[in-house]
Structure 1
Amino acid sequence: MSDTQTLIENRPPSVAALFLERVAATPDAEAYRYPVPNAAGEGPDDWKSLSWGQAAERVYAIAAGLIELGVQPEQRVALASSTRIEWILADLGIMCAGAATTTVYPQTNAEESAFILSDSDSRVLIAEDAAQLAKAVEKRAELPDLTHVVVIDPAGVETADWILTLDELEKRGAARLEKDADLIKERVGAITKDQLATLIYTSGTTGRPKGVRLPHDNWSYMAKAIAATGLISAEDVQYLWLPLAHVFGKVLTSGQIEVGHVTAVDGRVDKIIENLPVVQPTYMAAVPRIFEKVYNGVAAKARAGGGAKYKIFQWAAGVAREYAKVSQDNFRRTGTASVPFGLGAKHKVADALVYSKLRDAFGGRLRACVSGSVALAPEIGYFFAGAGIHILEGYGLTESSAASFVNPGEAYRTGTVGKPLPGCEVRIADDGEILLRGPGIMEGYHGLPEKTAEVLEPDGWFHTGDIGELSPDGYLRITDRKKDLFKTSGGKYIAPTEIEGSFKSVCPYVSNILVHGADRNFCTALIALDEVAIMGWAEENGLGGKSYAEVVASAETVAMVEGYVKQLNEGLQRWQTIKKFRLLPRDLDVEHGEITPSLKLKRPVVEREYAGLLEEMYAGTREA
């Protein structure tokens, strides 16, 4: 048996047990960093640290506090909060109490929050603030099993018999531990690997969310499998801002506990640019939208600097892509990422002019980024790779505990999601669907045996709903979602996400794009523009002072975007080309239900909302 197999197969039954092991092994080592407003109340935040021992003190107090509230093993405790240090401490506290965490996105409205709390049978809700508490208060009559709400940030909150602050919960727990010092050790020791640890409701691109049941063993396996990849080490500093209610954010906490590195936690997306030079991470995970925004921002800044600066940027971007493609191709063939002398010389000049500044903006120490949730446009991936910011795409679903595939360090291949994690099996079905099997696969959908049977075969193979291809040496490329593939009236199959990704790599102003054409005789697109990028362009092109809606409705903007659509079409097959498009009056967002909190497009919602624009593009055309 290999060392990797031994590491994975000899895993403890739970991450709670792993946490106790980590605390015992390195109690004084730094575990977490988190921001607090500085004493003056203005300017950059101060950052504080918690050692593993200090974190454990709070985790055990939260666990004991929940036990004091009557929480039993496997009973659900819901967590509705943005990404912050208290989210992690509360989640670990829930697991150390033997209970299970139900995750709720803070953006979720009162009605859907109530559905999740009711469907999961959550007994306690840990709410971030008064706004999250208000949702529970509004729907309390529909939640007879919800006995308590614990509020993290008590500003503006009036406590009651059933409402207490996190500080109060921790004090109750600490008092209980004074009388019963072995309480947590006993609770954790009683956890079995099949016991429910997490209930994550898929944000769902269609219909009601489904609760995905992930037992303790899934997270313990993930922790060991991530460590076995060798991609992270005890010396790393991770910057964690992703939503912890999402499985991608949550899995990052398991790997950290196994390896023992530092994690800096701050979920405020508007603070990412400010935080990076302060945190100076060695790795971080993100979704493609972040890399697209950075790329578009850099391009817009170069354009604003005048024609010469923009030409330098365009040249440097081309060099970066060529450098990345050649070096990756050579590494694949020879094991050495070499490039011809002339290309290397151009790259050196471009590095001094452009790439080094970009790396500094990421904190200057970034070894790699992990990208997931949706596909990253390869041209954007090649740009960052050539600039020395290595984006390792990975792949997984809520139903597979997030991490099933990841690109292997130096041997990463842009445009693929890499190789399976140790212990994960993969096969491609006859229709191209990716099937997965292994210790990371869910137990099933909560209370929905029929839905579970639709995707999970008796022998453990899980149907992902994604279409993909495996290279002879085991690299996976995702080509589309099975349900997103459509056929034109001419009988040609179209993979819309591939076209959408290509457009994002050629147009620096796009935020979201939806390609449409099912049962139609040609493809069309709905395009939403990035507000910051397009308003900068507007200022330079005689449209200053106009609103975003006025800018996107202008003939000048439409003509500019049309140029990029033509550029896109040059690289497509005739039947894939975008014949017509419409610019949307505003960007798509979570609040309107058009994208999920993990930034995936909800196609049916967008197509329904903008049905008029779609019909307008096909009006007067002969449909087959």
Structure 2
Amino acid sequence: MSTLCAVFQATAAQHPDLVALRTPADGVTVTWREYAERVRRIATGLAALGVRRGDTVALMMVNRPEFHLIDTAVFHLGATPFSLYNTSSPEQLQFQVGNAGNRVVVCEEQFLPTVLAGRDGTAVEHVVCLDDAPEGTIGLAELEAMADPDFDFEATWRAVEPDDVLTLIYTSGTTGPPKGVELSHRNMLAAVTAAATVLPADHNDRIISFLPHAHVADRWGTHYTQIVTGLQVTCVANRRAVLAAVVETRPTIFGAVPQVWYNIRAGVEAMIAGEIDPARKNALTQAIRLGLDYVRSAAPDEQLRARHKSADERMLAPLRAMIGFDQIRYALCGAAPITADAVEFINALGIPLSEGWGMSEVCGLATLNPPHANRYGTCGPAIPGVELLLAPDGELLVRGELVMKGYRHDTAHAAAAVDAEGWLHTGDVATMDPDGYVRIIDRKKELIINASGKNMSPSTIENTIRAGCPLIGQLVVIGDNRPYNVALVLLEPAVAQGFATANGLAGAELSELAGSEAVRAAVAEGIDAGNQRLSRVEQVKRFAILPTWWEPGCPELTHTLKLRRGPIAERYAAEIEELYA
């Protein structure tokens, strides 16, 4: 089967009565039979609105079952669905919708003001609203009731071809306007099937969808992987509720960005630190130490195996059950580098966490650590069907069927990104060991070169420090053409409030906490601890705590949580200069 349409139809027919989509506590459940029926109805309604093969349709909604129904219906028409970040401004929406050229937008009522404000000057003619349908919009139920006597659903989806564009993923835009990455059915099937050979999955598996649908990780990792494997997806609308959803769902597969894993580690450490039973506290501490010894050992002897098994049964298995990971088979981390010691810690708990690497232009994943051969601190080797090459300057090049078709209406950038031999120039500087395991250093354009000519990776420094200090939510290291490194620190709101309560500062605003001596001392301690794991030249010598928080899509942070280092340096020039005074 060469398209996601054909694969979807086969999967739905194979498991008609299994629940395909749900929300926590089964607030909403959708079986594969219902999924397929609604895809047909929604596709028929969209066809009645004039959506045809080659068209585009924009989606703007939280993680909910309707996303999967609508997105799948659109690509069954041979059209291209794409998601807008829910934090998009009208101007950002206008740019992406203008680039995509879609005539239909499907959104939740809460995002309707942004859609209506941003559609001026675009091709948008119809707005479908999932909830109530205010005047001038079409309700989803109304759309599903539309009829088109000339529409042949079966013939339409069978006419879709492997090289038709399956979706558009708009890049972060850290150095310019976002580019629309065109991913075909062929591209995505290559990515999903290759990843499934490393991490096999089937209809017995459960996964949680909580990352933005506009991010390639959610589309590859949950939406398209579900269609291929038949696994069950639990949709979590509020990303802050994801760890509670883990406890309810008991996922067998779970993927998240580094900060989620850092938070899990910090939560476990805080729970142990707060344990009032000395015997239990000591037993948990010893169990995790044994876990670390076990995962760090290339060939554990029989004694270590036996001690670890006993500690796991007595202490670690109940701990995993308490936090919802007692049935986990695979855990993944990507989107940004994670420290090796954090990966070791999570594995020591008995959660098999593997780090991978990818980008929108390769459908989300190109390298992945196999669980049986996990090398902490690396992103693993290439997944099957992918070729890797290091350019003379260390840039990682990728070739394979999962490499994008191109950038929408941007042949110049596409030609610069993919050379005549099919190699994608990723922009990431990396190293590769003799076995092909990749270690990402940083983005080529973001490396720090200090006043002495020393090259450093700011993200490595930032991740090392953040991993050991949960109070630091966002961190920016500055040091280009400077004698030493300094940092701008933003407090993690939830952790800061907990710290405030524990230190007699309950009710203090984030801006007040930024000026607290107690907070500054705790941050300084965290930075000092991180510095001990860095070379002298990499260490952060001074820092400032900013009395704010950066939301995705703001001038300092992309929708995918990447730092916009240029605008940050400009906006906080005074604070930076003071650190060097």
TM-score by length of 2: 0.94
Distance change in 2, residues 1:13/1:350 (3 Å): closer
Deviations 1:479-520 (A, max 9, x none): 211111111010111111111111122223221211110000
Equivalent position SS for 1:141: coil
Please report how far the alpha carbon of residue 600 of structure 1 lies from its aligned counterpart in structure 2 after TM superposition: 2.3
Deviation at 1:224, TM superposition (A): 2.4
| C-alpha distance in 2 between matches for 1:127 and 1:395 | 31
- Deviation (angstroms), 1:93: 0.5
Give the aligned partner of residue 267 of structure 1: 237
The whole-number CA distance in structure 2 between the counterparts of 1:340 and 1:499 is: 38
Q: Deviations over 1:365-412 (max 9, x none)?
A: 112211111111211111110001111111111111111112212222
- Cα pair distance change 1:609/1:217, threshold 3 Å: same
- CA shift, 1:348, in A, is 4.5
Where 1:293 maps in the other structure, the secondary structure is helix
The worse-fitting range, judged by mean Cα deviation, of 468-477 and 424-433 is 468-477
Moved more, 467-476 or 120-129: 467-476
- Residue pair 2:58, 2:82 contacting (<8 A) in 1 also: yes
1:136 aligns with 2:110: no
CA distance in 2, matches of 1:296, 1:48: 32
The code of the aligned residue for 2:249 comes to: V
Q: Distance in 2 between matches of 1:26 and 1:592?
A: 43
Report the residue type matching 2:366 in the other structure.
S
CA spacing shift, 1:463–1:276, aligned 2, 3 Å: same
* Residue 185, structure 1, aligned to residue 154, structure 2: yes
2:256 pairs, out of 272, 276, 286, with: 286
Taking structure 1 as reference, are residues 541 and 112 closer, same or farther at Cα in structure 2, changes over 3 Å only? Answer: same
Question: 1:219, CA displacement in angstroms?
Answer: 1.9
**Structure 1 residues 354, 107: CA separation in 2 closer, same or farther (over 3 Å shift)?**
same
Aligned position for 1:148: 126
Q: 1:227 aligns with which of 191, 196, 201?
A: 196
Question: Are the counterparts in 2 of residues 153 and 165 from structure 1 also a CA contact under 8 Å?
Answer: yes
377, 381, 389: which is aligned to 1:415? 377
Q: Alpha carbons of 1:592 and 1:463: their partners in 2 closer, same or farther (altered >3 Å)?
A: same
Look up the match of 1:74: 54
Instruction: Note the C-alpha offset of 1:419.
Output: 2.1
What is the aligned residue count? 579
Alpha-carbon contact 1:74-1:197 (below 8 Å) kept: no
Residue pair 2:429, 2:444 contacting (<8 A) in 1 also = yes
Once the two structures are TM-superposed, the CA of residue 310 in structure 1 deviates from its matched residue by: 7.7
Aligned to 1:276: 246
Instruction: Indicate conservation of the 8 Å contact 1:127/1:150, yes or no.
Output: yes
The answer to whether the Cα contact below 8 Å between 2:199 and 2:330 also exists between their aligned partners in 1 is: no
- In the alignment, residue 337 of structure 2 is paired with which amino acid? A
1:536 maps onto 2:498 in alignment: yes
The aligned counterpart of 2:442 is 480
Taking a change above 3 Å as real, the CA distance of residues 523 and 351 of structure 1, as seen in their structure-2 partners, is farther
**Post-superposition CA distance 1:259-297 (Å, at most 9, x none):** 222222223212223222221111121111111122223
Partner in structure 2 of residue 456 of structure 1: 418
- Structure 2 counterparts to residues 112-261 of structure 1, below 5 A: 112-129=92-109, 131-143=110-122, 145-154=123-132, 157-160=133-136, 163-172=137-146, 175-176=147-148, 179=149, 183-252=152-221, 253-261=223-231
Q: Where does residue 323 of structure 1 map in the other structure?
A: 294
| CA displacement at 1:76 relative to structure 2 | 0.7
- Superposition deviation, residue 343 in structure 1: 8.4
Shift of 1:353: 4.6
Contact 1:299 1:313 (C-alpha < 8 Å) held by counterparts: no
SS of 1:200 mapped into structure 2: strand
Cα drift, residue 245 of structure 1: 1.4
Letter in structure 2 aligned against 1:158: P
Task: Give, as a single letter, the amino acid of the residue that structure 2 aligns with 1:166.
Answer: L
**Separation (CA, whole Å) in 1 of partners of 2:308 and 2:518:** 35
C-alpha contact 1:300 1:533 (8 A) present in aligned 2: no
**Corresponding residue for residue 27 of structure 1:** 16
Q: CA deviation at 1:417?
A: 1.4
- Between the aligned partners of 1:574 and 1:359, the Cα distance in structure 2 is 41
SS of 1:553's equivalent? Answer: coil
RMSD between superposed Cα atoms in Å? 2.3
Q: Distance in 1 between matches of 2:2 and 2:497?
A: 53
CA drift of 1:340 comes to 6.8
Shift of 1:574: 1.8
Deviations 1:568-620 (A, max 9, x none): 2222222111111112213332153432333222222332332221111111x
What amino acid does structure 1 have at the position aligned with 2:131? D
- 21-30 or 296-305, larger mean C-alpha shift: 296-305
In the other structure, the counterpart of 1:111 is: 91
Matched residue SS, 1:108: coil
Q: Any conservation in 1 of the 2:479–2:486 contact (CA below 8 Å)?
A: yes
Structure 1: distance between partners of 2:309 and 2:508: 40
Go from structure 1 to structure 2 and tell me whether the alpha carbon gap of 1:301 and 1:467 turns closer, same or farther (over 3 Å shift): same
Give yes or no for the alignment of 1:18 onto 2:7. Answer: yes
For the 8 Å contact 2:432–2:438, the answer to whether it is kept is yes
Distance across 2 between alignment mates of 1:409 and 1:353: 22
Q: How far is 1:237 from its partner?
A: 1.3
Amino acid at match of 1:383: F
Question: 1:460 deviation in Å?
Answer: 0.8
Distance (whole Å) between structure 1 residues aligned to residue 310 and residue 508 of structure 2: 41
What amino acid is the match of 1:165? G
User: Which residue identity is paired with 2:262?
Assistant: E
Give 1:229 deviation, angstroms.
2.6
Kindly provide the amino acid, as one letter, of the partner of residue 403 in structure 1: L
Contact 1:197 1:216 in 2 (8 A): yes
Aligned to 1:47: 27
CA, structure 1 residues 120+431, in 2 after alignment: closer, same or farther (shift >3 Å)?
same
| TM-score (normalised: structure 1) | 0.87
1:314/1:482 CA distance change after superposition, 3 Å: farther
Change (3 A) 1:498 1:306: farther
1:459-487 per-residue CA deviation (whole Å, 9 max, x = no partner) reads 11001111112222222111211111111
Task: Give the C-alpha shift of residue 323 in structure 1.
Answer: 3.1
Shift of 1:83: 1.5
Structure 1 pair 591–141 and aligned structure 2 pair: CA distance change class (3 A): closer
1:568-579 matches, cutoff 5 A: 568-579=530-541
